[in-house]
Chain A
């Protein structure tokens, strides 16, 4: 990987989140064992950053085309129609992401009055990580679908890419 490569925004977000999680957790450990004083906020903060990290890293993995599939089953689909079958799959996946985004926003908005135990963070902010991640994922999928419709061969290529990536 070259240093100059342009990376998706999710990459920088996850880098920041993971670095902060490491830092916050490590401070918590130091305080607990060295200074013998538990920080009530450090566990809570890292857990909530983790929620954001999970769903944004999911979208990042989409840009890397790294998600785990069962290649053996998809391989049973005749090669001629496979690109189109896979585009249909991607459209269903896109629709699912968009639907979860909608559910997530609705749910987060219903939580505006509750706050977290230690830091009194608004819980709607914590919950918002779920729809944000799914929304970013649906954006990525939208562009991948456009790309695949223009050039259906990408869809077969990708199966191979996945294996190379795992290697």
Chain B
């Protein structure tokens, strides 16, 4: 047992030092154990690779990525921002507020944090800078609004968690709504406090003011997208995978024929960007499943769970420890990798304590979403500081107040299960 444990994690760690991609490191470590211990035939590798990839729910991932890429190219983000700007007007911190609300709506179409920052931040960060917001703040607020991407459904991380934990992805999508809105509210509050202190206001010269109805009319196709996607899933009409393919076709039609900002010759580029992103995510699923199966074969998750159970069985302490652990993991590791690697290890610890797997999924995803704005590997901050043209470290000036605010939301979500479970329970009745 200890030998296998050392071997599998030792080899895995070495591959990471050798700059081998995490997905491949998992495969290599799993294969090493199979070769050394001769426990299962080698064809086991191909069987789990195929079995874990041959999944209808996972098919939603490339489609949601593709829909997000189309929407960030085709003028949908800009119309959303114009519309929100029209409603919010010019108040204290209004441009930060616009960034948060636009990210919230965009998150209800796209499945990832990075896509949200890249699409909304690319427009609102330069706009904030033009109107006297400091570079570090513009980058920080866009990056943290991007953490809504993986929490507000649809969400790629929810899909991966659902597949790994065998819970309904539709339920995960429903459960994420209130925690996501809570995060957005918390961000709105901290944005107001910081803007008030620093004197960040609204847009100085808006140019020609367009009417509310005109901006609504311009944005209606963009606003309809989350209604169709979430409405379809929440109403139990379509599966998440079908909703994802509808999102692709819908966003293509709107971008090409209605907004006319997407030329068909951009199609190859957009598809290839989506291919790159899903190529790095999907391979993970097969190697992480293989790794997880080898661990399970050797009863390692149960062993680790046993060690922790000897230490404490208090669910509050265990959840607190898991939160700290995941915050550290999220700071160093990519979200997808962290979910696929740690969910199979953590579930055997929490399930015997009576923690609901859906509630636990929201906790895990929220933790890792915070990792998107935590140094040293805060992907959202990388993207946002690149748009604002400052160095990564400079954009950390507001890290502590914003991080603390979101941390409070995380603790609320962790210790009040109803925040996550109220809606799924209500809808399943």
Residues of A participating in the B interface, judged by any CB pair closer than 8 Å: 1, 3, 7, 11, 14-15, 18-19, 21-22, 25-26, 28-29, 33, 43, 46-48, 50-51, 53-55, 57-61, 64, 66-74, 76-77, 85-86, 88-90, 92-93, 96-97, 99-100, 103-104, 106-107, 110, 127, 130, 155, 159, 163, 166-167
Contacts and interface: CB of A to CB of B under 8 A. Distances in A.
Interface centre among B19, B278, B334 (most CB of A within 10 A): B19
A53 B54 contact: no
B31 A89 contact: no
Contact of A29 (B46, B246, B277): B246
Given A11-B272, A15-B271, A68-B336, A89 B19 contact: yes
Nearest to B283: A58
9 contacts: A18-B62, A18-B274, A22-B248, A29-B246, A54-B53, A92-B28, A96-B31, A104-B49, A127-B46
B63 interface: yes
Contacts of A163: 382
Interface stretch (B10-18, B198-206, B299-307): B10-18
B245 A29 contact: yes
A32 to B, nearest CB: 8
- Contact count band on B: 35 or more
A57 B17 contact: no
B18 A70 contact: no
Name the prevailing secondary structure of the A interface residues.
helix
Contacts of B17: 73-74, 76-77, 85
Interface in B329-347: 332-334, 336-337
B317 interface: no
Nearest to A97: B24
A14 B383 CA distance: 26
Contacts of B45: 100, 103
Contacts of A59: 279
Contact of A19 (B47, B271, B383): B271
Interface centre among B16, B47, B272, B280 (most CB of A within 10 A): B272
A26 B13 CA distance: 42
Contacts of A77: 17
A97 B249 CA distance: 35
B46 A103 contact: yes
A1 B269 contact: yes
Given A55-B283, A99-B31, A22 B249 contact: yes
B379 interface: yes
A86 B15 CA distance: 10
Given A85-B18, A167-B382, A58 B279 contact: yes
A21 B338 CA distance: 28
A130 B245 contact: no
B21 interface: yes
B182 interface: no
Contact of A166 (B63, B332, B383): B383
B20 interface: yes
A54 B289 CA distance: 15
A66 B276 CA distance: 7
A73 B16 contact: yes
A29 B269 CA distance: 26
Contacts of B277: 66
A15 B43 CA distance: 30
B280 A74 contact: no
Contacts of A90: 19-20
A57 B46 contact: no
B395 to A, nearest CB: 12
